[in-house]
Amino acid sequence: MKTKFSCYRRQSSESGANDLTNSGKTNLPVEKVCRSCRRNRQGAAVVEFAIVAPVFFLLVFGMIEYGRMVMVQQVITNASREGARVGVLDGSTTSSVTTAVNNYLTAAKISTTSSTTTVSPNPPSSAGYGGAVTVTVSIPFSAVSWLPSPLYLGGKTLSATATMRREAVQ
């Protein structure tokens, strides 16, 4: 019968029990051989974890950070769209556009203290019939990151722009 250990072969002893022998020199029971192999690998799991864990955690935190970036980018894109919708209406002001953007960001649980909203032209009611009203929303990623210290995107600023035609009576 073949075993995991090529230097050992199974033989039966006088008592009829199966023993592993090493070229006939020493009779070692199978349990002792397996136990000695386990003893030699006691610290292997710790060493393997120490090698793999940093790479694993970098990947996990990177996925969290980039996932949050995509989510916030989508939210500020929608917020700039909402601001542009308000800005193209008759009688709209820069403060009404900024309020619409801030309300959208607040509803999405994004702090408005570090966000900036730019409206062009200022005021949006100064654009003529069919003229473009542009709303830009930007926010530093460090202000919206879920990680205490963003690893990859710490110095980046997320920005979104929406442009719509003015709806005015001729």
- 123: tokens are 């005021």
pTM for the model: 0.69
H/E stretch holding 145 reads: none
- In the chain, count of helices (H) and strands (E)? 3, 6
| Cβ–Cβ under 8 Å, residues 11 and 19 | yes
Tens-digit pLDDT profile for residues 140-152: 988 888 888 777 7
| Residues facing 163 on adjacent strands | 134
Tens-digit pLDDT profile for residues 10-57: 555 555 555 555 555 556 666 666 666 666 667 788 899 999 999 999
